[in-house]
């Protein structure tokens, strides 16, 4: 097993100078000394981290026991997304004109469901999600979610969202570049991820989920990645939790984690934050 792991340089800056940051499940996350980016090293080889793993299927979901997926489409999550997005987008903005929106790693489709009442009625809301049972559930809720991979998406969009997917990406810069190729010239990427690299491991409130999670960025890394790709920041907001499970669900999840011997989620009392980033492609950057 260990023999199949590969040693890598920092996916953010390319330096090969890192110190241990956190450990879990026999894997080590290291922090790059020059830039502060956190990444699993050594990590599973790239061919073991296929696109499905990057955009949604956790290794724990590949087996027959799938606790999280059984919870299914969550209306409380739809309400939470709706509340967040309504507060983040002045109403006239999403209703002004039809928007083509692609949610990558859409899961059961709760974000798309939340957007339905917020966007112009002629908008096209789509999602891609590698986990087939989730796709089926989303479709039963009337949502246009497909199991296409990103490489099978040939259309362009006004907005592409990536909610809690970033940490699964072995090469975030390359993946964001792939998203950019599918954006309109003034299109936007909406990203939600934790600021793991801004905090110490002890301040990270949840299990690290190694090696499903391969990288942890800080706010400066997210800003830096978008800057390199020719985006300007429209909004950056920090939340203690962007999405907070209702208390009964949190209790149930922790009980399940204890039974399975996994690390439980602790209350977030430190500087860990969920980052909401909305970045717009600068129109003068040539496409492709």
Q: Min. distance of Cβ 218 from Zn ion in angstroms?
A: 11
Identify which range of 29-37, 180-188, 195-203, 238-246 contacts Zn ion by CB under 5 A: 29-37
And the tokens for 208?
Answer: 């690290």
Which span sits near Zn ion by CB under 5 A: 10-18, 83-91, 135-143, 200-208? 10-18
The residue from 21, 30, 31, 37 that contacts Zn ion (CB under 5 A) is 37
- Nearest distance in Å: CB 148, Zn ion: 33
* Interface with Zn ion (CB under 5 A), residue from 8, 30, 35, 80: 35
Q: Is 252 helix (H, G, I), strand (E, B) or coil?
A: helix
φ, ψ (nearest 5 deg) of residue 48: -85, -15
Cα distances from 52 to residues 64, 88, 147, 265, in angstroms, run 17, 29, 9, 25
- Name which position in 8, 29, 30, 32 contacts Zn ion (CB under 5 A): 32
CB 184 within 8 A of CB 288: no
| Pairing outcome for strands 274-281 and 183-194 | antiparallel
In the Cβ-directed half-sphere of 270, how many Cα atoms lie within 13 Å? 14
| Beta-carbon contacts of residue 71 (< 8 Å; ≥ 6 apart) | 249
> Which stretch in 15-23, 54-62, 143-151, 152-160 sits in contact with Zn ion by CB under 5 A?
15-23
Task: Kindly tell me which of 29 and 131 has the beta carbon lying closer to Zn ion.
Answer: 29
Which of 22/105 has CB closer to Zn ion? 22
Per-residue string for binding with Zn ion, 105-134, x by CB under 5 A?
------------------------------
Q: Report in angstroms how near the CB of residue 39 gets to Zn ion at its nearest.
A: 8
Q: What is residue 109's three-state secondary structure?
A: coil
∠ Cα 264 83 111 (to 5°): 70
User: In this chain, which stretch among 6-14, 101-109, 181-189, 260-268 interacts with Zn ion, using CB under 5 A?
Assistant: 6-14
Task: Indicate whether 10 belongs to the interface with Zn ion (CB under 5 A).
Answer: yes
> Quick one: three-class SS letters along 122-161?
CCEEEEECCCHHHHHHHHHCCCEEECCCHHHCCCCEEEEE
Pick 228 or 287: Cβ nearer Zn ion: 228
Residue where the block lists tokens 């096209």: 124
Most distant CA pair in the chain: distance in Å? Answer: 55
Residue 208 and residue 179: Cα distance in Å, rounded? 25
- Per CB under 5 A, the list member of 15, 174, 255, 260 interacting with Zn ion is 15
Binding segment toward Zn ion, per CB under 5 A, in 33-41, 76-84, 139-147, 228-236: 33-41
Stretch that binds Zn ion, among 4-12, 184-192, 227-235, 256-264 (CB under 5 A): 4-12
The verdict on 12 binding Zn ion (CB under 5 A) reads yes
Of 13, 52, 86, 244, the one binding Zn ion by CB under 5 A: 13
Dig out the tokens for 226 from the structure.
Answer: 């978008």
Q: Residue 80: which residues within 8 A CB-CB, separation 6 or more?
A: 114, 243, 244
114 vs 217 by CB, closer to Zn ion: 217
Task: Write out the residues near Zn ion by the rule CB under 5 A.
Answer: 10, 12-13, 15, 32, 35, 37
């Amino acid at each position: 097993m260990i023999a199949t792991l590969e040693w890598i340089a920092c996916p953010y800056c390319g330096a090969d100078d890192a110190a241990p940051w956190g450990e879990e499940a026999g894997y080590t996350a290291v922090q790059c000394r020059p830039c502060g980016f956190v990444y699993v090293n050594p990590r599973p080889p790239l061919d073991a981290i296929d696109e499905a793993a990057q955009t949604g299927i956790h290794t724990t979901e590949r087996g027959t026991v799938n606790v999280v997926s059984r919870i299914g489409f969550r209306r409380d999550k739809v309400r939470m997304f709706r509340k967040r997005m309504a507060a983040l987008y002045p109403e006239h903005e999403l209703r002004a004109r039809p928007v083509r929106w692609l949610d990558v790693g859409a899961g059961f489709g709760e974000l798309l469901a939340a957007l339905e009442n917020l966007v112009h009625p002629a908008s096209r809301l789509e999602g891609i999600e590698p986990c087939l049972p989730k796709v089926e559930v989303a479709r039963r809720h009337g949502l246009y979610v497909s199991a296409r991979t990103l490489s099978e998406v040939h259309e362009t969009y006004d907005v592409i969202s990536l909610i809690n997917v970033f940490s699964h990406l072995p090469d975030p810069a390359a993946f964001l570049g792939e998203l950019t190729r599918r954006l309109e010239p003034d299109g936007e990427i909406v990203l939600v991820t934790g600021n793991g690299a801004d905090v110490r491991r002890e301040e990270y409130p949840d299990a690290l989920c190694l090696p499903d999670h391969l990288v942890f960025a800080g706010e400066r890394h997210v800003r830096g990645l978008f800057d390199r790709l020719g985006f300007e920041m429209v909004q950056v907001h920090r939340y203690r939790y962007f999405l907070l499970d209702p208390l009964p669900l949190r209790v149930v999840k922790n009980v399940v984690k204890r039974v399975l011997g996994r690390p439980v989620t602790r209350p977030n009392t430190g500087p860990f934050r969920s980052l909401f980033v909305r970045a717009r492609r600068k129109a003068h950057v040539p496409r492709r």
